[in-house]
Amino acid sequence: MIRKCKIRIIEINGKRFPFGGACNRYENIVRHVVTDTEEYNHVKKREEMIFNMEGNSGEKTIGISRSLAMTSLFPLFYRFFRYLRFRVIIPEVSDKRGWDLKNAEFCFPAEMAHGYMYDLLTRDPDYIFLPRIRGVKVENSRNYNVFCPFVQSEPDYLKSAFPGLESRNVLEMNLDFSNGYESEIEKFEEIAEKLGSKREEGKNAYFKALKDFKELKRKIKKTGENFLRDLEKEEFGIVLFGRSYNAFSSHANMGIPEKFASRGVLIVNLDALPYESDEGYSNMYWTWGEMITKTARYVKKHPKLFGVYITNFSCGPDSFIISYFRDIMGDKPSLILELDSHTADAGIETRIEAFIDVAKSYLKAPVSKEKKKVSRPITKLENGELKVITPDGNKFPISHEKVRLVFPTMGEFSTKCLAASFSYHNVKTDVCPEPDIEEFRLGRGNSLSKECLPLQLTLGSLIKYLNGNSSDDEIILYFMPETMGPCRFGQYKVFIDLWLENNHVDNVALFSLNSENAYAGLGLQFKLRAWIAVIVSDVLTDIENTVKVLAKDKHEAKILLKRVKEKILDSFANDSLYTFFRKLKRAANLIASIEKSRNYTETPKVLITGEIYARRDEFSRKRLEDVFAENGIITHISPVHEWIYYTDYLFLKKQTSPNSTHIDRLMKRIEILFKRDIEMKVKKIFKKTGFYEVCMMDVEKTIGAARKHLHPELTGETILTVGTALSEIGEKYDGIISIGPFGCMPSRIAEAIIKKGILKKTFEDPGNAPIIYIESDGNPFPPIIESKIEAFIVQVKRFKGYNLS
C-alpha cells in the first residue's frame, strides 16, 4: 500500500528541514542514498507470505477477516477452504465506519476488527467464517497458552455490533490449538460437513492445509536465518516485538518496519527467530506473551540485536508484559511505541531516530550489570502440612509464631471473615486497612500505572504494610490468589513477586489457597469454615446495604450492625461450627429487632456486578451503595460465592480440569452438594432478619441467560456479568451497574454484549431497562459518570414504579 506522503520543507536560519514523511525515503532521495528497503524489511516479507492468495478460485465464496489471530493463522484456514474448492474473500481495509459501530471502548486491534468486518460484509461472500480461537501452543512452553479475551471473544462482540450477521451464513467454530494443531481435526471435519462436503474430505483438506501451513512457518523461520546472516555485515539489527495483528500488520504498525529499513537498519519479526529453546516467564499463559518473553531473552543475549516493542493504548496483557520485557532486557536499551488510531508519524519518527543513536552509543560502551538475586522464603506441602521454608533451610509450619499471614482488603468484612477462619487454626493474621489514596499512590508509583486498579491497590497495601511493620524476625505470607487467565488477574502474583525481588525484600512470600497446597495444609475443616465465611460475608454485606435504606433509626442500626459483625468475627476465630451457628442465629435476631421505615418488597433495588475486586472493594466502587441509599435505593453486590460455584462449573465441564477422572468429578459434585446445603442454611438464618430474601445461587441459569450472546468457551467473569444482567434485570432488580477497573477486558466485552442483549429485554412503557457501565481507575468519578449515576437513579425509580403499578 503506497502512502504518497506530502513532504513540507521548513526553513530555519537558512537550513531546510523536510517534514511529513512516514519514513526516510525523501531524505535518501535528496542525499542520493541508495537503501534497498526490501532487503532490510523482513517484517514485510512475513505479511506477504501470510496473505499470499495464489490460486484463489471457486464458485462458492467464503469470507475471512484479516484481524487479530488471522494475521498468523490465515494461511491454515485459506488453504483448508481452497482444498474444499471455495474462493476466499478477505477485506482490503479496516473501514472506519465499522469502528463507529463498536459497543465498548476496545483496543486499537479490536477496533480494527470491527472495520474489517464492515468491509467484508460489503463484499457479500456466500459464507463468513468467524472462528472463536482460544489459543495456540508455544513450543517448549510450560504453560497452557491462550489468547487474550478480546481475541477469544471476537465473534461475540462483532455479532453484537453487526446485527446483520444474524441473517448471514456465518460459520462459527470453537477452536483451541493450545494442545497442538492435530488436536482439532474433528472440528475441521465438522466445518466441512456444514459446508456440504463429507467429513473425510474435511479431514484430508485439513491435513493438506496443515502440511502447507507448517511449511510456511519454516519459510518464516528461514527469513530469520537470512536476517541473522545479513546481521553479521551490519552494525546492529532490530527485532520487532508485539503481536502479529499490531506489530507485523502494515495496516496497524504505522509503517514502523519501513521507517527502520529506510534508514538502513535491518528489522525482523520476533517469530522468525529461534526463540523456542529460551525460557518464557512465570505463569505466562498468553500465547503472544510467552513468545515475547522467550524472544526477549534471546535478544538480550545477542550482542547486535535490540528490541522495539509495539503496543496499543489500553492493551491489557501488555500492561504487565512490558514490565517483564524490561526486566529481561535489564540495561540493554529497548524502545516501546504505543499506537492507537490517533497516533501521528512525526512523534514516531523522532523516537526512532533517537533510539538508533542510543543503540549505536550502547554498542560503543555496553553496560552489563548482573541483577542481584534475592533469596526469599517459599511455601511447600510436606506430608500433608504446609511448611514455610526460609533461604537458610529452616522450616516452619504456617501456624508458627514467626509466620504472619497478611491479607489485602477486598471488601473489609469479607476479608476479615476469611482471616478469622485462619485464626481459628492458630495462624497469626493481619488484614490491611481498606485501601485509600495512600495505597493507590504507592501502587501506581511502583508500577507502570497501566495495570488494572486491583493490582495497584493490593501492591500499594503491601508496600504500606511493609513500611509500618518491618521486622526481620518475622516471615510474612501475603495472600494473593492465582489463576491461569485469560484476564490479567493471574499476573498479580507474578508482578508483585517481581517487585519484591527488585526491591530486595527477603522476608515476604506470596501465598494462595488451592488444592495443590491442600488449602494451607489445614484440611477439610478449614475449607468448610472458609466457605461459611464467604457465604456469611456475602449475605451480611447485602443486609447492611438494605438496612441503610430501610432502618427507621439509621444511626442506631449502624451501631448495632457493627456490634453484630464483631460478634461474628470473634466466633469465627474462636468457636466450633456448632457454637458459631448458634451465635449466628442470635445475630440474626438482633438485626431483626431493627425497626423498618418502609417495606422491603416495594423498595427499588439495584445490583452492582462486574469485575470481582472492583465491585467488592469499597475504594474501587467509591461506596456507590451510600449514594443509592441516600436516594432510597437498596444496593446488592454480586457475591463471591458466585465465582466459586463458577470455578466448580468449569471443573465439571473439564475446562480447567481436562485430565480429571470420573471419580474426581463425582467428588466435586458431592462437594457442591455440601456447599449448597451450607448456603441454604446460612441464608435461611438471615431471612429471619426481614432484611433479606433467600435466593440460591444458580450458575447454570446465569450462563444459560448469556449463552446465546456469549459462548461459555470464554472463561472468566464476562459470562457471569452478562448472564446476571440479562437474567436479573426486571426480575429481582430494577437496575444493574456493571463496574470494572479501567481497561478491564472482561468488563468491556460484557458491556458490548449486554448492550445487544438488553435491547431484546426492553420494556415498552418504562423504556430501556436501567443499566450503566462504570470503569474505576482509583480517582474520583468524573462529572460525566456522576451525571450518568444521577440519571440512572431517576430511571430506577421510574422502572420500579412501573413494575409496582
Buried b (16+ CB within 10 A) or exposed e, 326-336: bebbeebebbb
The bridge status of strand 127-136 relative to strand 170-177 is: parallel
Q: Cβ distance 98 to 65 under 8 Å?
A: no
- Whether residue 129 contacts residue 86, with contact meaning beta carbons closer than 8 Å, is answered with no
Per-residue model confidence as pLDDT tens digits over 621-652: 999 999 999 999 999 999 999 999 999 999 99
pLDDT of 34 reads 45
The predicted pLDDT at position 605 comes to 97
Contact 620, 720 (CB under 8 A): no
pLDDT of 346: 75
Residues in the chain: 805
Whether cis (ω within 30° of 0) applies to the bond prior to 486 is yes
Q: Are 154 and 132 in contact (CB under 8 A)?
A: yes
Q: How far apart are CA 137 and CA 154, in angstroms?
A: 19
Q: Please say if the pLDDT value at position 18 is more than 60.
A: yes
In this prediction, residue 257 carries a pLDDT of: 96
Residue scoring higher pLDDT (214 or 144): 214
Place of cell 462459527: 172
What are the Cα distances from residue 2, in Å, to 329, 332, 420? 35, 35, 66
Q: What is the pLDDT of residues 531-541, one digit of tens each?
A: 999 999 999 99
Check pLDDT > 60 for residue 518: no
Write out the DSSP string of 79-135: HHHHHTTEEEE--SS--HHHHTT-SS---HHHHHHHHHHHHHHHT--SEEEEEEEEE
- Check residue 483 and give its pLDDT: 86
The pLDDT value given to residue 32? 42
Q: Cβ distance 405 to 519 under 8 Å?
A: no
Cell, residue 603: 423498595
Identify whether the C-beta of residue 657 lies closer than 8 Å to the C-beta of residue 651: yes
Cell numbers at 735, concatenated: 437496575
Q: What are the pLDDT digits (tens) for 304-358?
A: 999 999 999 999 999 999 999 999 999 999 999 999 877 777 789 999 999 999 9
Q: What is the pLDDT of residues 664-695, one digit of tens each?
A: 999 999 999 999 999 999 999 999 999 999 99
Rounded Cα gap, residues 763 and 131, in angstroms? 34
Q: Which amino acid is at 374?
A: V
Q: What percent of the chain has pLDDT over 90?
A: 84
Q: What spatial distance separates the first Cα and last Cα of the chain, rounded to whole Å?
A: 62
| Predicted pLDDT at 344 | 74
pLDDT for position 523: 77
Burial of 647 (0-12, 13-18, 19+ CB in 10 A): middle
User: Residue 371 gets which letter from DSSP?
Assistant: P
Q: Which residues fall within 8 angstroms of residue 659, CB to CB, at 6 or more apart?
A: none
The answer on pLDDT for 29 being more than 90 is no
Q: Which of 51, 45, 9 is nearest to 26 (CA)?
A: 9
Q: How many CA atoms lie within 13 A of 259 on its CB side?
A: 23
C-alpha 734: how far from chain center: 29
Which among 561, 556, 523, 530 has a CA at the least distance from the CA of 544? 561
- The answer to whether the beta carbons of residues 308 and 246 sit under 8 Å apart is no
Please check the confidence at residue 490 and state whether its pLDDT lies above 90.
yes
Of 614, 698, 282, 605, which is closest to residue 435 (Cα–Cα)?
A: 614
Q: What is the pLDDT of residues 713-758, one digit of tens each?
A: 999 999 999 999 999 988 899 999 999 999 999 999 999 999 887 7
Asked if 633 and 603 count as a contact pair (C-beta separation under 8 A), the reply is yes
Q: At what angle do helices 523-550 and 412-423 cross, to 10 degrees?
A: 150
In the structure grid, which three cell numbers stand for residue 748, read together?
468491556
- Does residue 340 sit in helix, strand or coil? coil
What residues are paired with 736 via a beta bridge? 607, 771
Quick one: CA dihedral 418, 419, 421, 427, positive or negative? positive
CB 274, CB 252: distance < 8 Å: no
Poorest-pLDDT segment among 102-116, 249-263, 333-347, 513-527: 513-527
Strands 385-389 and 395-397: antiparallel
pLDDT at position 519 is 56
pLDDT greater than 70 at residue 804:
no
Distance CA 773, CA 740 (A): 8
| Amino acid identity at 787 | S
Mean pLDDT, rounded, of the chain: 92
pLDDT for the residue 765: 47
In sequence order, the β-bridge partners of residue 771 are: 736
- The confidence score (pLDDT) of residue 117 equals 98
- Residues in CB range of 479: below 8 A, 6 or more apart: 405, 406, 407, 408, 511, 512
CA distance 741 to 621: 9
- C-alpha torsion sign, points 546, 547, 549, 555: negative
Cut 0.85: pTM above it: yes
User: Residue 237: pLDDT above 60?
Assistant: yes
What span, in angstroms and rounded, lies between the C-alpha atoms of 723 and 710?
9
Query: What proportion of the chain, given as a percentage, has pLDDT over 70?
Result: 93
Distances (CA, A) of 219 to 212, 298, 299: 11, 20, 21
Burial of 215: CB neighbours in 10 Å, binned 0-12, 13-18, 19+ = exposed
In terms of Cβ atoms closer than 10 Å to its own Cβ (0-12, 13-18, 19+), residue 782 is exposed
In angstroms, the Cα distances linking 525 to 422, 520, 534, 678, 774 are: 11, 11, 14, 13, 39
Give the cell for residue 313: 493504548
pLDDT for 803 equals 60
CA dihedral for 60, 65, 69, 73, sign (positive or negative): positive
Residue 516 pLDDT > 70: no
CB 176 within 8 A of CB 163: no
Rg (CA), the chain: 29
What local confidence, expressed as pLDDT, does residue 136 receive?
Answer: 97
pLDDT higher than 70, residue 767 = no
Three-state secondary-structure class, residue 400? coil
d(CA 25, CA 754): 48
